[in-house]
Amino acid sequence: MMKVLITLFVVVLVDVVASQCNCNTMKWARCDGTPCQCNLQFSSTYKQPIDCTTLIPKCFLMKAEMYRARNNLTTRSIGGKPVESAFVDNDGIYDPECESNGKFKAIQCNNTDVCWCVNSAGVRRSDKGDKNIKCDPVETYWVRLELKHKEVAIPLDATKLKTGIQNALLERYKLDKKFVTDVQYDKDGRLIVVDVKKDIGERVTDLSLMTYYMEKDIKIKPLFFDENKQLEVSVEGTKVSMENILVYYTDEMVPTFTTQRLTVCLVQWLPTF
Ligand SMILES: *[C@@H]1O[C@H](CO)[C@@H](O)[C@H](O)[C@H]1NC(C)=O
Ligand SMILES: *[C@@H]1O[C@H](CO)[C@@H](O)[C@H](O)[C@H]1NC(C)=O
């Protein structure tokens, strides 16, 4: 009898351990082995080992996404300025070069001879040039999220909104509340403007992690293993979902676009809001 019980116990234990071998923060990862190891496919011959206890670096996610797009697997489409030097990502996706720790290389060429400089969020911050373009690493220290929320039955309390946003970003993206420095609300436009800011010179927090996961959550489908669990902000018991997001990036150094591009970018984006 004891033997049967022990066998049963072992079988149950093995089952539990096996069922836990999946990647909570990345639904496209493939995991196996003991201990459980998860990988993301970048090409037919290269799999990147990833740490699923935390959000996956954006550079790795973009590489995986390009691989999936090339192979017809399901995959991005993306969407005022906090300061004059802030800019949006008008380019969309490319096949990035990543450092081994998942950071973006400062120069990106998308497998072509046309290259440009990106910030730590992988977003282009220079005009396009050739392979000799000089790019220094530049950190994004401030992102502004412009969120449009879906209709709600009860009007939202603007003063409680900041707490709701802070809680949601902490719970879903593990973003410390101190980084949410300001939340503004326009009730009629259903517009929530969230400033996420770290100190200049801080090199521990990567703001691009949260913004990329959030764009996917709102515009496409969650990247998390449980892709049916949606991003929701709770304001005094009212659950609020978002229908659109636009992200502005502000870097420690102003971008080097020519004036012409800045004008184009403004004209293109302002009418949306
Ligand atoms: C993906 O789909 C396109 C158009 O349907 C097709 O031309 C292409 O060969 C496909 N690529 C792969 C890798 O299956
Ligand atoms: C990168 O290359 C892909 C495929 O060649 C293309 O579809 C995409 O638009 C390019 N992206 C940029 C930002 O140049």
Q: Give pLDDT tens digits for 152-168.
A: 988 899 889 999 999 99
Q: What is the pLDDT of residue 267?
A: 37
Q: Which CATH class is domain 141-251?
A: alpha beta
* pTM, entire model: 0.80
Give the pairing type, strands 191-197 and 180-186.
antiparallel
> Which residues of the chain form CATH 4.10.800?
30-75+92-129
- What is the mean predicted confidence (pLDDT) over 243-256? 95
Q: How confident is the model at residue 104 (pLDDT cuts 50, 70, 90)?
A: very high
- From the CA of 68, the nearest ligand is 1
Alpha-carbon dihedral sign for residues 98, 61, 67, 40: positive
Q: Is pLDDT above 80 for 124?
A: yes
Nearest CA residue ID for atom 7, ligand 2: 94
Q: What is the pLDDT of residue 87?
A: 76
Q: Answer whether 131's CB lies under 8 Å from 102's CB.
A: no
- What is the mean predicted confidence (pLDDT) over 131-143? 97
Q: How confident is the model at residue 212 (pLDDT cuts 50, 70, 90)?
A: very high
Q: How confident is the model at residue 3 (pLDDT cuts 50, 70, 90)?
A: low
Q: Is pLDDT above 60 for 7?
A: no
Longest dimension (CA), the chain: 81
Q: Give the separation between CA 253 and CA 160, rounded to whole angstroms.
A: 34
Q: What is the pLDDT of residue 262?
A: 47
Q: Answer whether 223's CB lies under 8 Å from 64's CB.
A: no
> Which residues of the chain form CATH 3.30.70?
141-251
Q: How confident is the model at residue 92 (pLDDT cuts 50, 70, 90)?
A: confident
Q: Is pLDDT above 90 for 96?
A: yes
CA-based radius of gyration for the chain: 21
Write out residues with Cβ below 6 Å of ligand 1.
Answer: 71-72
SS3 state at 175: coil
- In the chain, DSSP assigns E strands to 30-32, 37-41, 47-50, 107-108, 116-117, 140-149, 180-186, 191-197, 233-235, 238-240, 242-251
Q: Is pLDDT above 50 for 268?
A: no
Q: What is the pLDDT of residue 271?
A: 33
Q: How confident is the model at residue 129 (pLDDT cuts 50, 70, 90)?
A: very high
Nearest to 246 by CA among 80, 121, 127: 80
CATH of region 30-75+92-129: 4.10.800
Q: Which two tokens stand for residue 186?
A: 């326009």
Q: Is pLDDT above 90 for 74?
A: no
- From the CA of 72, the nearest ligand is 1
Nearest to 90 by CA among 221, 248, 259: 248
Q: Which of 71, 93, 116 has most ligand 2 atoms within 8 Å of its beta carbon, as the pocket-test mutant?
A: 93
Q: What is the pLDDT of residue 19?
A: 58
- From the CA of 71, the nearest ligand is 1
Q: How confident is the model at residue 270 (pLDDT cuts 50, 70, 90)?
A: very low
Q: What is the pLDDT of residue 181?
A: 96
pLDDT tens-digit readout, 19-40:
578 999 999 999 999 999 999 9
Q: Is pLDDT above 70 for 1?
A: no
Q: What is the pLDDT of residue 234?
A: 96
Q: Is pLDDT above 90 for 86?
A: no
Ligand 1 center–CA 70 separation, angstroms: 8
Q: Which two tokens stand for residue 131?
A: 């392979």
- What is the mean predicted confidence (pLDDT) over 2-7? 53
